[in-house]
Amino acid sequence: MAVRYRNPALAVDSVWFSRGRVLLVRRGRPPFRGEWALPGGFVEYRETVESAVVRELREETGLAARPVRLVGVYSGPNRDPRHPTTSVVFRMSGRYAVPHGGDDAREAAWVPVEEVGRLAFDHAKILADARRQERRLRGRRS
């Protein structure tokens, strides 16, 4: 008899800063319907995390960007109320443009970083980690 494993779902999220703003989406579906979140979603079968984050960003915002740095890997049984999830989070870079909500994102917008309030899932922690990472990198370049 074959052993069946119950594994966490693999997801990706993107953090894209531009002009003092961060790109966010307003969720169109549960969980957290109507709340702001980082653009992201689940990795498809036979897809790399790098191609998944590019695809999810394009589907949810209409924008094209590329991953430039790993922010971190976030895991735990309670990150997503649907099931245990592990997210690989990338810092993205691309040409600034006006986003448009698509796929399961009701809305997409550049939000001033200092005005970001509550975020879905554990995205406030992820955003805080990405901001600390950016400050450290800027400090090294000075």
Question: Position of tokens 């796929």?
Answer: 103
Phi-psi region of 132 (alpha: psi -120 to 50; beta: other; left: phi over 0): alpha
Q: What angle do CA 102, 67, 87 make, to 5 degrees?
A: 70
- What phi and psi values does residue 58 have, to the nearest 5 degrees? -65, -45
In angstroms and rounded to an integer, the radius of gyration of the C-alpha atoms of the chain is 15
Q: Which of 107, 114, 115, 134 is catalytic?
A: 107
60 is catalytic: no
Question: Position of tokens 């955003």?
Answer: 127
Q: Which residues are catalytic?
A: 107
